[in-house]
């Protein structure tokens, strides 16, 4: 099976994953969002965001759950992603982490659960245990993060069902065409993280010039780059006014000539 890139047209545009689940292509990353998490999630949902990306590591799964409750939206209207670093506890560790995640989210299920990275030594055991949790409907889709081609090939050799998503760092300084092409060939949806290069590149001269020409902000140009590549993308902001700025990336395009310039050396 192969999946072509889907370019989001608005905040509710979705992509159909290899297990049939439909996932929004655009959302909010919540890394480093702490004290104001509940409030910010509520604000993002009010502005039309429908995908939220958290993790055990971020210590804000509970804030995400609280923000969703506060918004008054139905659980099924919002797509929640969380992740967990495989540990040497293997299957037991995975089940324990998921159960804590669901308690924090105050939900019976998480929409997408990711192995946060190919580490811990017992990834395959953890993955198999989580496939069972998917059967139990505690997880709608199962995926991975920070997996390279050789990690996915190793999974395939073990006869493991392909993940639905691979979440990897993607922006003009991290193009990763080998793993992107591999995932697309295998029908694994590509989800990019750090679309703003963690905020480090909004002052970059090349990006700034393109932004000026298009009458957009540098942040919008970087986010649009991910949208236009057909990546599921999750720009993070803890600044309420940027929630709108970052989501205003659907009714304009970066011309090909500028996309070609935005292939940057690290
Ligand atoms: N799977 C993984 O291993 C992994 C790793 C890293 C990240 N992630 C996920 O991806 C999400 C996004 O990545 P990220 O948080 O690393 O970085 P990012 O989204 O690339 O950048 C966030 C930074 O950019 C700033 N920013 C946001 N919008 C801006 C704008 N319009 N103009 C200028 N600056 C702006 C933010 O500051 P303010 O908050 O002050 O606006 C923050 O400092 C994370 O939150 C997390 O959900 C996953
Ligand atoms: C929030 O974002 C706006 C731009 O939309 C910026 O002017 C302001 O300085 C930011 N606030 C903080 C606290 O970073
Ligand atoms: C594009 O969408 C934004 C809202 O996201 C809106 O403010 C703006 O007017 C739209 N521009 C055009 C040209 O339709």
Residue 107 confidence (pLDDT) above 60? yes
Q: What is the pLDDT of residue 4?
A: 61
Confidence of residue 1 (pLDDT cuts 50, 70, 90): very low
The proportion of the chain whose per-residue pLDDT surpasses 90, expressed as a percent, equals: 95
Q: Is the CB of 245 under 6 A from ligand 2?
A: yes
Mean pLDDT of 112-116: 98
pTM: 0.98
Q: Is 116 annotated as a binding residue?
A: yes
- What's the mean pLDDT when you consider all of the chain? 96
The proportion of the chain whose per-residue pLDDT surpasses 70, expressed as a percent, equals: 98
Query: Which numbered atom of ligand 2 lies nearest the CA of 239?
Result: 1
Residue 33 confidence (pLDDT) above 90? yes
Choose the residue to mutate in 43, 199, 223, 241 for probing ligand 2, maximizing ligand atoms within 8 Å of C-beta: 241
Does 58 qualify as catalytic in the annotation? yes
Q: Is the CB of 248 under 6 A from ligand 2?
A: no
List, as one string, the DSSP characters of the chain. Answer: ---------STT-EEE-TTS-EEESB-EE-TT--TTHHHHHHHHHHTT--EEE--GGGT-HHHHHHHHHHHT--GGGSEEEEEE---TTHHHHHHHHHHHHHHHHTSS-EEEEEE-SS-SS-HHHHHHHHHHHHHTTSEEEEEEES--HHHHHHHHHTTPPPPSEEEEE-BTTB--HHHHHHHHHHTPEEEEE-TTGGGTTTT-HHHHHHHHHHTS-HHHHHHHHHHHTT-EE--B-S-HHHHHHHH--SS----HHHHHH-----
Task: Out of 79-83, 119-123, 147-151, 218-222, pick the least confident.
Answer: 119-123
Which CATH architecture group holds 14-264?
Alpha-Beta Barrel (3.20)
Ligand 3, atom 3, residue with closest C-alpha: 248
Residue 3 confidence (pLDDT) above 60? no
Mean pLDDT of 195-212: 97
Residue 181 confidence (pLDDT) above 70? yes
* Distance from residue 87's CA to the centre of ligand 1 (Å): 26
Query: Which numbered atom of ligand 3 lies nearest the CA of 244?
Result: 5
């Amino acid at each position: 099976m192969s999946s072509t890139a889907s370019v989001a047209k608005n905040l509710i545009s979705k992509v159909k994953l290899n297990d049939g689940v439909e996932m929004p292509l655009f959302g909010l990353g919540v890394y480093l969002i702490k004290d104001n998490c509940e409030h910010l999630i509520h604000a993002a949902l009010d502005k039309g965001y429908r995908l939220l990306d958290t993790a055990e590591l971020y210590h804000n799964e509970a804030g995400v759950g609280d923000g969703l409750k506060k918004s008054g939206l139905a659980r099924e209207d919002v797509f929640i992603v969380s992740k967990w670093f495989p540990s040497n506890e293997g299957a037991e560790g995975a089940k324990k982490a998921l159960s804590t995640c669901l308690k924090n989210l105050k939900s019976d299920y998480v929409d997408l659960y990711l192995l946060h990275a190919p580490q811990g030594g017992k990834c395959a055991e953890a993955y198999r245990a989580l496939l069972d949790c998917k059967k139990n409907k505690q997880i709608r889709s199962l995926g991975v993060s920070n997996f390279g081609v050789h990690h996915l090939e190793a999974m395939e050799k073990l006869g493991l069902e392909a993940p639905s998503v691979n979440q990897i760092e993607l922006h003009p300084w991290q193009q990763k065409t080998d793993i992107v092409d591999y995932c697309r060939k295998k029908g694994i949806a590509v989800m990019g993280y750090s679309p703003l290069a963690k905020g480090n590149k909004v002052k970059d001269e090349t990006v700034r010039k393109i932004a000026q020409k298009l009458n957009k902000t540098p942040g919008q140009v970087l986010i649009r780059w991910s949208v236009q590549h057909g990546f599921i993308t999750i720009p993070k902001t803890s600044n309420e006014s940027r929630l709108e700025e970052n989501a205003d990336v659907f009714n304009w395009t970066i011309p090909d000539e500028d996309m070609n310039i935005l292939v940057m050396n690290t």
